[in-house]
Amino acid sequence: MRLAGYTTLRLGGAPRQLVTATRTDEISQKLREAELRAEPVLVLAGGSNVVVADEGFPGTVLLVRSRGFEVVAEDEATVTVRVAAGEPWDDLVAATVEAGWSGVECLSGIPGSAGATPIQNVGAYGQEVAETVVGVEVYDRLTGEVTRMGAAECGFGYRSSVFKYNDRWTVLTVDFRLFRSTLSAPVRYAELARALGVEVGDRVPLGDARSAVRTLRAGKGMVLDPADPDTRSVGSFFTNPVLDAGAYEALRERAAELGEPPSWPGAGGTMKVSAAWLIDKAGYPKGYQGSGGVAISSKHTLALTNRNGGSTGALLALAREIRDGVHDRFGATLYPEPVLVNCAL
Ligand SMILES: Cc1cc2nc3c(=O)[nH]c(=O)nc-3n(C[C@H](O)[C@H](O)[C@H](O)COP(=O)(O)OP(=O)(O)OC[C@H]3O[C@@H](n4cnc5c(N)ncnc54)[C@H](O)[C@@H]3O)c2cc1C
């Protein structure tokens, strides 16, 4: 059985073995068993942020299918929800909006599991989980123990954490602290504010924020739809490059005749530059076809899609062409956002 059936790209060859954990305690148990066999292990949940080699995975794939969440602490202003790793993320967001708990509403429509959200500090439309995650329960493969880590130990950054590209810890449950409020957090993202007909900084009913985000995302092929090949992706394939002041000035000079690259100031004088803009201006517009059944999404420049009988090899060749083209044109290096399994860019 190929892993293609378990990934949103619909790509990836077979593993040596596939096992499923439906309960939290089963996750650590199955990991211990695989360790006893000295097998490499790939933890896989929604398969929406992995690019798996056509050759598959030479070890055990553990499918995380634990479900459910419970309130573990509350006060007048907040509610702390403990969520099983395998809980589908968007179901959780829907439930929090319904309950009148604010903090993750702008992360509506993101595929995958709750347990994977800390891995790359999932974010969209001005929100990221680092703002609400207060701790995680993990199985530590180095010590064989189940332990808790606070948010500070998770080392959250832009699309990163201590967990990304590091299989030491498997997330078993995640604690999110949310606010009792039927209004959203202040809207930070200009495009979302426009869609809602409000100013940046305003707050809107939670349900309005959720549906506006889902509508915006659907227009970009960023909500999974089995009938739409534009959603057969990992979402954004590249992160936005973060440049120091010198590199940013050099980029602006090389881009002078194209206007100002869309960018956002970050810590320490850095600038985060729109990877979508760089890709488009380097000559890779929406719909750009690679060879072998892969293409840039017709709705979003950052999404590389498996259109029709594509392969991981073809997808990576397209990604390399884009990365190298952007580097030649602008001198900026793009890095992949998904985790590459048994393959490389
Ligand atoms: C259409 C589309 C839109 C997207 N939009 C966004 C977006 O707006 N913002 C964003 O940040 N991401 C986005 N993504 C990427 C993806 O949905 C998220 O990164 C999501 O959190 C991945 O969850 P998953 O369960 O599918 O993880 P998987 O793809 O199964 O795994 C991803 C990585 O996390 C590891 N992992 C999974 N579960 C665990 C666990 N319990 N413990 C330890 N490691 C684990 C895996 O080993 C792998 O390395 C999008 C993807 C798609 C397809």
| 184 counts as catalytic | no
Nearest atom within ligand 1 for CA of residue 45: 30
| For residue 319, pLDDT beyond 90 | yes
CA of 165 to the centre of ligand 1 (A): 12
Q: Which atom of ligand 1 is nearest to the CA of 119?
A: 34
Q: Classify 67 as helix, strand or coil.
A: coil
- Residue 36 CB: number of other CB atoms within 10 A? 8
Q: Catalytic annotation on 217? A: no
The verdict on the CB of residue 12 being under 6 Å from ligand 1 is no
Output phi, psi for 283, to 5 deg.
105, 20
Q: Is the pLDDT reported for residue 267 higher than 90?
A: no
From the CA of 339, give the closest atom in ligand 1: 49
Q: Looking at 87, 105, 128, 337, which residue is catalytic? A: 337
Q: 48: Cβ below 6 Å to ligand 1?
A: yes
Tell me the mean pLDDT in the region 278-303.
Answer: 97
Quote the pLDDT of residue 266: 86
Q: How many CA atoms lie within 13 Å of 83's alpha carbon, on the beta-carbon side? A: 29
Separation of CA 112 and ligand 1 centre (Å): 5
Nearest alpha carbon to residue 118 among 178, 160, 61: 160
The percentage of the chain sitting over the pLDDT mark of 70, rounded to a whole number, equals 100
Distance 137 CA to ligand 1 centre (A): 18
Two tokens, residue 164: 């990304």
Indicate which atom in ligand 1 lies nearest the CA of residue 85: 41
Kindly state if the Cβ of 222 falls inside 6 Å of ligand 1: yes
Work out the average pLDDT over 118-141: 97
**What is d(CA 278, CA 189) in angstroms, rounded to the nearest whole number?**
20
Q: How many CB atoms lie within 10 A of CB 177?
A: 19
pLDDT band per the 50, 70, 90 thresholds, residue 285: very high
pLDDT of 13 > 90? The answer is: yes
Other Cβ atoms less than 10 A from the Cβ of 288: the count is 18
Annotated catalytic residue, options 66, 102, 137, 159 = 159
- Residue identified by tokens 């999932």 is 122
Q: Answer for the pair 85, 27: CB distance below 8 angstroms, yes or no.
A: yes
What local confidence, expressed as pLDDT, does residue 268 receive? 87
Instruction: State the greatest distance between any 2 C-alpha atoms of the chain, in Å, as a whole number.
Output: 60
174-223 pLDDT tens trace = 999 999 999 999 999 999 999 999 999 999 999 999 999 999 999 999 99
Residue located via tokens 């907040």: 78
Alpha-carbon distance 177 to 71, whole Å?
10
DSSP 164-231: TT--SEEEEEEEEEEEE-SBPSPP--HHHHHHHTS-TT---BHHHHHHHHHHHHHHTT-S--TT-GGG
The answer to whether 119 and 163 have CB atoms below 8 angstroms apart is yes
260 CB-contact burial (10 Å; exposed 0-12 / middle 13-18 / buried 19+):
exposed
Reply yes or no on whether the pLDDT at 1 is more than 90.
no
Give helix 206-219 / helix 89-99 axis angle, nearest 10°. 150
Q: How far is the CA of 89 from the centre of ligand 1 (A)?
A: 10
CB of residue 233 inside a 6 A radius of ligand 1: yes
**How many angstroms separate the alpha carbon of residue 224 from the centre of ligand 1?**
13
Q: Is 113 in the pocket of ligand 1 (CB under 6 A)?
A: yes
Query: What average pLDDT does the segment 102-129 reach?
Result: 97
Would the pLDDT of 238 be above 90? yes
Nearest ligand 1 atom, CA 224: 1
For residue 117, report the distance from its CA to the centre of ligand 1, in Å.
6
Please compute the mean of the pLDDT values over residues 159-165 and round it to a whole number.
95
Q: Is 168 one of the annotated active-site residues of the chain?
A: no
Task: Name the average pLDDT for the chain.
Answer: 96
Nearest protein Cα to ligand 1, atom 38: 116
